[in-house]
């Protein structure tokens, strides 16, 4: 699980939005985040990200070209997990209760959240039925009720 500092997040966002950047391109892009880093700061951050295996550099060209080797989804999931564990003690109920009671969602947001939850619920039910059916067939087969080569789902 990768953990990034706020400054490293800025560098990663720049690289995800602008693949194959030089150090100076990254410095210029950071201005969009209201950050005016020195050349040394950008260099240090890039080296830390390289050490974390989040970024790689193409050193066959001058200036070096930097690119992200991990995806946004991987970093966001890692950060979300860290936050979730720290703040909500691994309790999904606490998290939803807190977030939904904050009233920061519009009716449309809640509708979309409900649709996403319904989709995952349906998928989980399907997977559970599939597992149960598999266990049932295994038990029947084990008890000699089904021949091994006639097993069909």
pLDDT tens by residue, the chain, 153 residues: 788 999 999 999 999 999 899 999 999 999 988 999 999 999 999 999 999 999 999 999 999 999 999 999 999 998 888 888 889 988 888 888 888 888 888 889 989 989 999 999 999 888 888 888 777 766 766 666 555 544 444
CB neighbours of residue 39 within 10 Å? 10
pTM: 0.67
Burial of 117-152, coded b for 16+ CB within 10 Å and e otherwise, reads: eeeeeeeeeeeeeeeeeeeeeeeeeeeeeeeeeeee
Distance CA 12, CA 53 (A): 12
Asked whether 115 and 122 are in contact (CB, 8 A), the reply is: no
Whole-number pLDDT of residue 119 = 94
75-83 contacts: CB < 8 A, separation 24 or more? 75/2, 75/4, 75/9, 75/12, 78/1, 78/2, 78/3, 79/3, 79/4, 81/1, 82/1, 82/3
């Amino acid at each position: 699980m990768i953990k990034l500092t706020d400054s490293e997040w800025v560098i990663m966002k720049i690289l995800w939005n602008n693949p194959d950047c030089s150090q100076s391109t990254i410095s210029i892009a950071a201005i969009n985040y209201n950050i005016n880093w020195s050349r040394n700061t950008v260099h240090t951050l890039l080296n830390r990200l390289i050490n974390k295996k989040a970024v790689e550099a193409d050193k066959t060209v001058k200036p070096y070209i930097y690119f992200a080797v991990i995806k946004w989804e991987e970093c966001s999931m890692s950060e979300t997990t860290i936050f979730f564990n720290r703040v909500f003690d691994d309790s999904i109920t606490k998290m939803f209760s807190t977030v939904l009671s904050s009233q920061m969602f519009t009716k449309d947001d809640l509708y979309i959240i409900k649709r996403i939850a319904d989709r995952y619920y349906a998928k989980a039910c399907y997977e559970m039925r599939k597992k149960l059916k598999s266990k049932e067939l295994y038990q029947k087969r084990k008890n000699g009720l089904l021949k091994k080569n006639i097993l069909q789902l």
